[in-house]
């Protein structure tokens, strides 16, 4: 009887670990040649084509793991929208809600341990006004 309990507890622990790991979303954005950055407060759109800027933005997502949350279908308002392109093909379309939450494929995702560098996104948007 005791062996069955130990086996059950072990099986339960492994199942929880697997379910937790399966909920993590990472972004591997490779070969990106352009990012279309949209400001959610005023609709301003900037095309980011400089390699250094592209890599800095990508790292903000690549260095994070995201936990899937509830549906984002009924939500309005957002901070930034990023469309990642490889040549003329869209690779990813990510809406940034704040420095810890995004919307992707109809769901919210929260960063697990990090933050999204929204200050850098603001700098790019404001740089084009100078």
Min mean pLDDT across 45-49, 73-77, 107-111 is at: 73-77
Tokens 């005791």 locate to 2
Distance CA 115, CA 125 (A): 19
Q: Which residues contact 37 (CB under 8 A, 6 or more apart)?
A: 45, 46, 47, 48, 57, 80, 81, 82, 121, 124, 125
Q: Is residue 4 part of a domain?
A: no
Split at pLDDT 50, 70, 90, the class of 1 is: low
- pLDDT at 47 > cutoff 80: yes
Kindly state the tokens that stand for 121.
């996104």
CATH number of the structural domain spanning residue 118: 3.30.1490
pLDDT computed for residue 13 by the predictor: 45
Range of the domain at 100: 26-127
* 116 lies in some domain: yes
How many domains is the chain partitioned into structurally? 1
Would you say residue 128 has pLDDT above 90? no
In a domain, 7, yes or no: no
Decide: pTM greater than 0.95. no
In a domain, 100, yes or no: yes
In a domain, 20, yes or no: no
Which pLDDT score, from 0 to 100, does residue 74 have? 86
- Per DSSP, helices labelled H in 1-130 are 2-22, 51-62, 118-127
């Amino acid at each position: 009887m005791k062996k069955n309990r130990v086996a059950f507890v072990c099986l339960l622990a492994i199942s929880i670990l697997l379910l937790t790991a399966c909920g993590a979303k990472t972004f591997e954005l490779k070969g990106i040649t352009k990012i279309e950055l949209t400001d959610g407060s005023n609709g301003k759109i900037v095309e980011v084509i400089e390699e250094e800027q592209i890599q800095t933005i990508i790292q903000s997502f690549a260095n994070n793991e995201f936990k899937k949350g509830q549906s984002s279908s009924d939500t309005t308002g957002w901070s930034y929208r990023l469309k990642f392109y490889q040549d003329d093909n869209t690779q990813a379309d990510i809406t940034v809600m704040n420095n810890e939450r995004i919307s992707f494929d109809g769901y919210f995702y929260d960063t697990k341990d990090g933050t999204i560098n929204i200050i850098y996104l603001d700098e790019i948007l404001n740089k084009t006004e100078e």
